[in-house]
Amino acid sequence: MTNQQIRPATLNDLHAISHIEDESFPNPYPRILIETLIRDNPDTFLVAVDNTKKVTGYCIVSVDGTFAHLISIAVQQSNRRKGVATALLKEQLAYLEEHDVKELWLEVSAKNTEAIGLYVKLGFTEAETIQSYYSDGSAALRMRINLAEETGRLVEKDPL
């Protein structure tokens, strides 16, 4: 894995995040939506930066009480398969556990076997298949992790 620092996104990261979004998805989120998500989710819109402070990936989660939704996660093409997405998700899960969030949900293309494998490795399970979820008519898997059951697995707690 490359040396990555995980930190909250700022508006200064907007250009880099938009670039990663554009190269990662066939129907990327518009820049104005990403800007709104940064403003609305200051604690759960995270970026990974390398040792030159270049943004290499991002992960955005929205929280509503004890439930959360993974809106998007993406890693710059040249930095994929280096542990960046894993680091981002582990940081998010730790934050959610610390803030008493009980469940995290996501949707992922049923064709995206690499992402599905990552989610399963981190403890997510498949909840349902949603037919024709994406604009091209393809299906999505809705996956979830019950953080109440997973507490302590990802974050070392201080001994009593």
State CA 56 to chain mean position distance.
Answer: 13
pTM: 0.88
Domains of the chain, CATH where assigned = 5-150 (3.40.630.30)
Nearest CA to 74 out of 121, 104, 29, 33 is that of 29
What is the pLDDT, as a whole number, of residue 3?
80
What is the pLDDT, as a whole number, of residue 160?
38
Identify the segments of the chain with pLDDT beneath 50.
1, 151-160
Nearest CA to 84 out of 50, 113, 51 is that of 50
Identity (one letter) of the amino acid at 85? A
* SS3 labels along the chain: CCCCEEEECCHHHHHHHHHHHHHHCCCCCCHHHHHHHHHHCCCCEEEEECCCCCEEEEEEEEEECCEEEEEEEEECHHHCCCCHHHHHHHHHHHHHHHCCCCEEEEEEECCCHHHHHHHHHCCCEEEEEECCCCCCCCCEEEEEEEHHHHCCCCCCCCCC
User: What's the whole-number average pLDDT of the chain?
Assistant: 91
Question: In whole angstroms, how far apart are CA 92 and each of 68, 117, 122, 138?
Answer: 10, 18, 12, 27
What is the pLDDT, as a whole number, of residue 159?
37
What is the pLDDT, as a whole number, of residue 155?
45
What is the pLDDT, as a whole number, of residue 149?
76
Measured between alpha carbons, how far is 160 from 147 in angstroms, rounded to an integer?
21
